[in-house]
Chain A
Amino acid sequence: MFRNHILVCGGTGCTSNNSAKIHEEFERILKEKELDKDVQVIRTGCFGLCAVGPVIIVYPEGAFYSGVRVEDVAEIVSEHIMKGRIVTRLLHEEKADVAVKALSETNFYKKQTRVALRNCGVIDPENIDEYIAHDGYQALIKVLTEMKPQEVIDVITKSGLRGRGGAGFPTGRKWQFAYQQPGDEKYVCCNADEGDPGAFMDRSVLEGDPHAVLEAMTIAGYAIGSHQGYIYCRAEYPIAVERCKIAIKQAREYGLLGKNILDTGFDFDIDIRLGAGAFVCGEETALMTSIEGNRGEPRPRPPFPAVKGLFGKPSILNNVETYANIAQIILKGADWFASMGTEKSKGTKVFALGGKITNTGLVEIPMGTTLREVIDDIGGGVPNGKKFKAAQTGGPSGGCIPAEHFDIPIDYDNLISIGSMMGSGGMIVMDEDNCMVDIAKFFLEFTVDESCGKCTPCRIGNRRLLEYLNKITNGTATLEDLDDMEKLCHYIKDNSLCGLGQTAPNPVLSTLRYFRDEYVAHITEKRCPAGVCKKLITYQITDACKGCTRCARTCPVEAISGAVRQKHVIDTKKCIKCGACLESCKFGAIIKK
C-alpha cells in the first residue's frame, strides 16, 4: 500500500514547463530515501490550470502546489512527505496572499462540472487498472451483456447528447442512421484532429483519459454493428498519440479490444491514423479520405458518411469529447445527463480558455453557464485591470461574443443566434488592446493557408477577402470596399464545398456586426482604435523627454536621434513600430498614436 500519492501533471502545458523532469526528480529522491515503496508518483493528464503550471497534488492531504520547479522537489519530499508539513510557499495562491490548500477549493474548480474531464488529472492515463478503478469499462460490460444495439442508441438519443466537435448534430441520430444501413462492414471513427487555434480540449482528454475514448468507440461499434475503429489524431500531439497507443495495447492485452471481447462474441479493434496537421482534415469527408490514404480533400454530401463513409462503407465520426461522455451516460442514465444543461443543449462543454485571461487552461461547465461566470468566476477575469472586449469561440469558423452579451447562457443555439458558434471549444478572450480587424485578419490568414484549394469560392474568395482586410489595416480601403467585402463574405458562405469555406468568413462577419465602428475608423480616420495595426500608428516623443538616450540605444533601427539632455525625435520613416522605445522609456515620454 502506498501512503502518499504524488500526482504530477503530465499534460502538454506542464510537460513543456518541465514536469517530466519534476517527475523524474521525485522518483530519484524517493528512491534515495527508500520511500519509493511508500509513495507513488503518477504522471496524470491535464489538471486544467495550465496558467500556473507545472502543478502537482500530494495526497492524502490534497495539497495543490503550483509553479513547482525541479529544485523544489527535495523540499516537498523532506518537509511534506517525511514530516507531514505542507510547503505553504508553494501552495497555489488564487488571490495575492490567500493560499489554497486543495484544488477543489479554488474558484476555478467550484463552478465546474467535470464529466468528460472526470479522470483528467485524477488517474494515471498509462495504467488501465486506474481507469478500471474509476468505473472504467463498466459501461462496456453493461452494454455487451445487458443491452441490445438499439437500446444503446436509444439511451444516447434520449440523453440529448450533441456532437462536441462544433456543429452540434445529435449523436444518437447519427448512430441510428449508421445502424439502419445494411451490411456488416461499418466503421467507427474518432476525430482527434483538433485544428482550431487556441483549442486543446481533445488533446487533453486523450492525454488524460485515453481509455474513456476507447471504451466509447467500442460501445459505438457494438451499437452500429462495426468491428473496426480509427482514431484520427494529428501528429503534432505526440503525448496524446503515445498514450493512445499504450491504452490500445493494454486494452488488447485485457481482451477489451480484439476478437471476442470479454468472451461475449463481439469483435472490435481500434487503430490510430496520424494526420499531418491540415485543418481541412477535421471535416468529416476529408478526414475519411485521409484515413483511406488519399490526399485530405472534402467531397460533396450527400451521400453522408452514415451511408457511404470510410472505404465507401457506412461510418460514424464523433469528436473526442463526445466519446468521453458516452460511458457516463450508459452508466448513469440518459436522465442524469439530460438533467444538466439547457432545453436543447444537454450536459457539459469543455472550453480551452486562452488569450487575455488570468486562468489560462481547461474548464468544463454545464451548458447554460453564462459567459460572465466562465470568464470572471472560473477564468479569474481579464488581467492587468484591462477591460473585457470580446470572447472568440468556434475558432476560424466562429465569431466574437462582445461585452453586451456577457450574460448570455452558453449553449449551441444561443451562440448561433448572436453570430458565433460553440465550435470545438476554444475560447479566446480579448481586451481593449485587441484590434478586432486584426483578429479577423488573423483567422482569415489561417483559413486561407489551410484551404485545400479544391473549390474556387474558398480558394480564391477567401484570398480576395484577406486582401480587403489588408487594405483596411493599411489605411487604403474605402467604405465601398467594406460593402463589397461583406457581399463577398456571403458569396463564399453560400458557395463553398465544405465547412471550412462555408464558415471561413464568420470571423469577419461577426466582427463587422459588433465592431463596425472599428472598421470605419480604420477606413475614414486612418486610425486603429486599439493601436495595433502598424501602418496606422506612429510613435512620438513628448516634452516629458529628459534626453536620457535610453530609447535611442534601444531602437533596433536607429530611428531615434537627439543629444544628451535634449528632447529626442523619432524618424517616422525609419521607425518599424516595434514599440521597444515605449517600453524602455522611464519617463512615459513616448506615446503611441
Chain B
Amino acid sequence: MKSIADIKAIREKMQSQIILRDNPDNNEIRIVVGMATCGISAGARPVFNALVDEVAARKLTGVKVSRAGCLGMCKLEPIIEVFVPGKEKVTYVQVTPEKAKNIIANHIVNGNVCTEYLITNE
C-alpha cells in the first residue's frame, strides 16, 4: 500500500519521463545529434544519452533531443546542433558526454553559447 507521499513521488518521477510526449510547439528548443554511421562510430550514442539524461535530470521543459542523419562533416563527429527559437542555430563539433553536459548547463539553461566547442575555419 502506498501513502500520499508515495503517490506524489511516483508523479514526480514519471513526469520527467512523459515530458517527451508533449506535443511539439514552435517555442521549444531542439537539440539534434548527428547519428549516421559516422556519428555513431565517433561516439554519438553516449553523447545522445548524456543529453537526454541531463535534460531529464534538470527537469527541463520545452527541450527536445532528437537524432538526425549525417551532417556532412564526418571527421568532426560527433556533431550536435542546437536550435533556439528566434536565434541562429549553433553547431558543436567533436562533442563528448562531458561537453554535452556543459552545453546543457551553459547554453540551454543559461543562454551562453559554449564558444570553445564551436566549429572553426582552421
Contact = CB atoms under 8 A, between A and B. Distances in A.
B65 interface: yes
A70 B23 CA distance: 25
A5 B19 CA distance: 10
Interface string A368-385: 000000000000000000
B47 to A, nearest CB: 12
Contacts of A3: 48-49, 52, 65
Interface string B2-14: 1110110011011
Interface stretch (A25-33, A79-87, A173-181, A392-400): A79-87
Interface in A135-186: 135-138, 141, 145
A102 B4 contact: no
Contacts of A102: 23-24
Given A60-B65, A61-B24, A83-B35, A132 B18 contact: no
B121 to A, nearest CB: 27
B84 interface: no
B7 A83 contact: no
A133 B11 contact: yes
B68 interface: yes
Given A3-B52, A3-B65, A60-B64, A130 B7 contact: no
Contact of B53 (A1, A5, A262): A1
A140 to B, nearest CB: 9
Contact of A62 (B17, B23, B33, B65): B23
Interface residues of A, number: 37
A202 B23 CA distance: 25
Given A60-B64, A84-B67, A129-B10, A122 B1 contact: no
A4 B66 CA distance: 9
A137 B1 CA distance: 14
Contacts of A1: 17, 49, 52-53, 56
Interface in A514-564: none
Contact of A134 (B7, B18, B33, B35): B18
Contacts of A133: 10-11, 14-15, 17-18
Interface of A: 1-5, 7, 59-62, 82-85, 101-104, 122-123, 129-130, 132-138, 141, 145, 253-256, 262-263
Given A129-B14, A262-B2, 16 more contacts: A2-B20, A4-B20, A7-B21, A60-B20, A84-B32, A123-B18, A132-B7, A133-B15, A135-B11, A136-B11, A254-B2, A255-B2, A255-B3, A262-B3, A262-B4, A262-B7
19 contacts: A2-B17, A2-B20, A4-B20, A5-B20, A60-B65, A82-B35, A84-B33, A84-B68, A85-B69, A102-B23, A129-B10, A129-B13, A129-B14, A130-B18, A132-B11, A133-B11, A254-B7, A262-B3, A263-B1
